[in-house]
Structure 1
């Protein structure tokens, strides 16, 4: 699919970007353009990939349309990963979150249309479903902009992919817990009942490629992800570090934080079909020519919602997932 193609990755120096680039290189693209703001991260990534000749690093900010326009020249696929992602940061600095996550996304759309990009893939989050914080709200707005772009007079197709937490990404709970175990011998947890969706980064990117290939444009692909109780997650990490009597401290819920996450809200579930064993697909409420007809033969999801408090992994299953990801 990507052989001899030019791909742009916004926010490409993050954890998702690293794995996306690794897997893209196996498919023999013509060029991968890594677009991000951080010079130091680009330098480190360039070294890690041994100055690979197919990688082109571009300093730029999605808030600035001119730099995006320059980066999009002759691009065929865009993976839009760039965003302000930390809930407390977005709560404290909502204007910056709005400019990056919403206006920046519209800039990506405009640049893609101008240069007749074949497909734009927007990576979203479970926090966009029935959002309770500003980060989730901006990502939900980004989803709406991406879906709406399919109604414009353009051959460019736009698709959303929504997932939960990915193991080991920057700021991941794994790194936080490991540091607390190592430095303090205690683990701080927001709430003992808290649950989250998790997947390894390798599996997440494979699912991203699947949706890239099979999407028509206008739908939101929702990853089916295992969910865990965070306290069980903490105990598994403590056991792996030979800490049998780890102390768990309850910290309390931060502003905008949920005890359980949703990948599908009650409202969205009404427009959702079962795509296969790996994905649900949310169909848009706005009209996009030919899209609903394409999915007529698929069965409705018939879910009230898709909540992280259901079908929780056992501690042994969590242990296996962490081993698979190389974290224990």
Structure 2
């Protein structure tokens, strides 16, 4: 049974794609005593309340993670926190850097400090592959947030609160997924724009992302950065899986976009171990004053290890991609 079962949970950014999937899983499998949905958009909260038929276990807090006092109020009596709130669009970040810093960096610091003050037991923050060797502003803010959460364990060493991070790639079926866009163009008989025909990506489904977060709560000591071991896919294969035979047009990389994605850099690879029968990698903290130790049964990665979408040893075929899309979307 998960440590989350029967507990009081708060999720920031709870009306997003991941948030809705996590709420559904929690209500169906974790029977939370109370599940607090913290987000800033009243319309989305209204829609999600109706989506879950005003389940009495749900609580609704309008608020922004930039506001530490509002966080402190929402965290009263909370046992565990899932931190999913963030500004996420790569090209938007390039033109609005101050706003991304305020939410992704300063907002994350607020979550950390408010969680410690409220006596929260465990916090799991969601990261992104773009935080590894970042070349764009969004990735840089998420890398900073990752480091804040890991080092937050130093600040909380004399307290009960512990922090961990999960890092994964693009999510099939999320609000920002390219799949519905490709489908719409395919229905109109239009060519599909591909930023670069050589692009490779990591993709994960929403159920996989939720399971990873729940696993992390049960697994963590505090200080871990978990990365799923998942197949890569070529973007051209994804496009043809969504719209078979479609014409593809190379439109060039957008500002801040990578040709290939990376979830563990060579520098991080020196601290990485394999856990859970090879399901996950754990990037261990550099310094751990709170008593961290290597996970039981973990295996170190080989010298020079890095985890990139173009050099992965597992790949999705077009047929596998099509099967996943049909099952999940």
Indicate whether the TM-score tops 0.5.
yes
Which one of 23, 44, 49 corresponds to residue 47 of structure 2?
Answer: 44
Corresponding residue pairs, total: 320
Q: Secondary structure at the match of 1:316?
A: helix
The alignment status of 1:65 with 2:68, answered yes or no, reads: yes
Q: Give the equivalent residue in structure 1 for 2:17.
A: 15
Matches of 2:263 and 2:5 in 1, distance apart?
32
Matches of 2:242 and 2:299 in 1, distance apart?
39
Aligned positions of 1:277-316 closer than 5 A:
277-292=278-293, 294-295=294-295, 298-302=298-302, 304-309=305-310, 310=312, 311-316=314-319
Q: Secondary structure at the match of 2:167?
A: strand
CA contact (8 A) 2:223 2:288 kept: no
Q: Give the equivalent residue in structure 2 for 1:275.
A: 275
How far off its partner does 1:278 sit?
Answer: 1.2
Matches of 2:47 and 2:296 in 1, distance apart?
47
In the TM superposition, what whole-angstrom CA distance separates every residue of 1:34-77 from its partner, at most 9, and x where no partner exists? 00011111111001101111111111000111111110001000
Matches of 1:299 and 1:49 in 2, distance apart?
41
Which one of 2, 12, 24 corresponds to residue 4 of structure 2?
Answer: 2
Matches of 2:264 and 2:81 in 1, distance apart?
25
Aligned positions of 1:27-38 closer than 5 A:
27-38=30-41
Instruction: Name structure 1 gaps, 5 residues minimum.
Output: none
CA contact (8 A) 2:275 2:297 kept: no
Matches of 2:295 and 2:209 in 1, distance apart?
23
The alignment status of 1:170 with 2:172, answered yes or no, reads: no
Matches of 1:2 and 1:54 in 2, distance apart?
14
Matches of 2:176 and 2:150 in 1, distance apart?
29
Matches of 1:22 and 1:38 in 2, distance apart?
19
How far off its partner does 1:208 sit?
Answer: 1.3
CA contact (8 A) 2:196 2:252 kept: yes
In the TM superposition, what whole-angstrom CA distance separates every residue of 1:124-163 from its partner, at most 9, and x where no partner exists? 0111111111111000000100001111232100000111
Given the superposition, is the C-alpha separation of residues 181 and 54 from structure 1 closer, same or farther in structure 2, using an over 3 Å criterion? same
In the TM superposition, what whole-angstrom CA distance separates every residue of 1:142-190 from its partner, at most 9, and x where no partner exists? 0100001111232100000111111010121112211222235210000
CA contact (8 A) 1:79 1:121 kept: yes
TM-score by length of 2: 0.94
Matches of 1:306 and 1:50 in 2, distance apart?
42
Matches of 2:139 and 2:112 in 1, distance apart?
20
The alignment status of 1:201 with 2:203, answered yes or no, reads: no
**Divergent runs of 4+, >6 A:** none
Given the superposition, is the C-alpha separation of residues 2 and 297 from structure 1 closer, same or farther in structure 2, using an over 3 Å criterion? closer
TM-score by length of 1: 0.95
How far off its partner does 1:203 sit?
Answer: 1.6
Matches of 2:6 and 2:241 in 1, distance apart?
44
Deviates more, 1:34-43 or 1:178-187: 178-187
Aligned positions of 1:74-223 closer than 5 A:
74-152=77-155, 153-223=158-228
